């Protein structure tokens, strides 16, 4: 579970030169969320994506290092947004008109992995925010914003008190929410400057917006290392049975997750197993007939 959360919260960066494939992938039960994208060239070719063909020094001097395409973000959204994985060949034709013909370009992509099912909660300034999950499930924070966004919030409308509409956000909101709520069934926190600090000018009304998901967590048996284990046969046999059942259940869930995640590979394994079984059965029949004949 900790590994799953670290993969979800991580900001991914990938790049590919012209003529190469870019491949984006997210873990199970998450999809790609494109944050930003760049296609063009802003550094010399000897620093990133060198040319495949030899160039003279005069050609390198003329290389355009202020070249960018404004459609790269929209193209990445069209190709990869809300998918678990995507792959395509990078070239100038993919992004429309070439802004700098003759200059080798590259693609830079920044993305996150968003859970397929997530919830969003908002608390106005000085109100308490409560998060909770069902039994046997725990909270996994995806994002947290404390401050004032440009679009505002429907739950906390902006009251014009002569202050300009300025966007301001706390830089520690996500880390604080992870510390308070990560891995818990329920938690609560006040949307106040005492908890998050004041990222805005005095007098600007703020709100806390948290996006989270509820995920399964294994039921672990409590262990008290300060006490000696019981010597009765009934108490000593119970944890073994429970652990065996949990191991069997874990294996079943792992197999189901593998099949749903890789249906083609699972079908290939099944067909291969059937073919091998038929071949072994045929060999056994041939040996049996030959032995009777002898």
- Where exactly are the structural domains of the chain? 1-115, 119-215
- pLDDT given at position 117: 72
- pLDDT given at position 152: 60
- pLDDT given at position 6: 53
Task: Please check whether the two domains, 1-115 and 119-215, share a CATH topology.
Answer: yes
pLDDT tens digit sequence for 68-85: 888 888 889 998 988 889
- pLDDT given at position 254: 57
Question: Model-level pTM?
Answer: 0.48
- pLDDT given at position 221: 30
- pLDDT given at position 183: 83
Q: Which two tokens stand for residue 117?
A: 């099912």
Cα dist from 159 to 145, 165, 207, 287, whole Å: 19, 10, 13, 89
Q: Are strands 128-132 and 137-148 parallel, antiparallel or unpaired?
A: unpaired
| Domain at 1-115: CATH architecture | Sandwich (2.60)
- Mapped onto helix, strand or coil, the DSSP state of residue 214 is strand
Q: What CA–CA distance (Å, rounded) separates 58 from 61?
A: 5
- Mapped onto helix, strand or coil, the DSSP state of residue 61 is helix
Q: Which two tokens stand for residue 255?
A: 């197999």
Q: What CA–CA distance (Å, rounded) separates 146 from 169?
A: 6
Mean pLDDT per block of 10 residues along the chain (294 residues) reads: 53 87 84 88 83 53 78 89 89 84 87 79 89 84 81 65 69 87 88 87 83 64 34 36 47 58 72 88 88 78
CATH number corresponding to 119-215: 2.60.120.740
Strand order in the sheet with 30-41: 12-17, 106-115, 30-41, 67-68
Q: In terms of C-beta distances under 8 Å and separation of at least 24 residues, what long-range contacts does 50-56 make, across chains too?
A: 50/104, 51/104, 52/19, 52/104
- pLDDT given at position 38: 92
Helix 263-293 / helix 233-261 crossing angle, nearest 10 deg? 100
């Amino acid at each position: 579970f900790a590994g799953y959360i670290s993969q979800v919260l991580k900001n991914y960066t990938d790049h590919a030169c012209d003529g190469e494939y870019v491949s984006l992938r997210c873990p199970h039960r998450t999809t790609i969320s494109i944050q930003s994208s760049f296609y063009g060239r802003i550094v010399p070719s000897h620093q990133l994506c060198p040319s495949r063909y030899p160039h003279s020094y005069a050609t390198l001097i003329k290389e355009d290092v202020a070249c960018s395409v404004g459609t790269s973000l929209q193209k990445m959204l069209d190709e990869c947004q809300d998918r678990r994985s995507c792959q395509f060949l990078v070239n100038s034709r993919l992004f429309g008109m070439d802004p700098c013909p003759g200059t080798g370009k590259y693609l830079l992509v920044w993305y996150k992995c968003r859970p397929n099912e997530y919830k969003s909660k908002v608390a106005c300034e000085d109100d308490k925010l409560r998060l909770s999950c069902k039994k046997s499930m725990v909270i996994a924070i995806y994002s947290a914003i404390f401050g004032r966004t440009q679009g505002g919030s429907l739950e906390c409308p902006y009251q014009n008190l002569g202050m300009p509409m300025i966007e301001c956000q706390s830089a520690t909101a996500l880390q604080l929410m992870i510390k308070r709520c990560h891995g818990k069934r329920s938690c609560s926190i006040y949307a106040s400057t005492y908890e998050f600090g004041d990222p805005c000018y005095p007098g600007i009304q703020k709100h806390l917006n948290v996006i989270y998901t509820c995920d399964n967590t294994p039921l672990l048996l409590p262990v008290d290392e300060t006490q000696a284990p019981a010597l009765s046969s009934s108490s000593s046999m119970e944890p073994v049975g429970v652990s065996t059942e949990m191991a069997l259940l874990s294996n079943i869930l792992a197999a189901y997750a593998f099949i749903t995640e890789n249906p083609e590979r699972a079908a290939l394994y099944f067909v291969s197993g059937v073919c091998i079984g038929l071949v072994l059965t045929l060999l056994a029949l041939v040996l049996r007939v030959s032995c009777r004949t002898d």
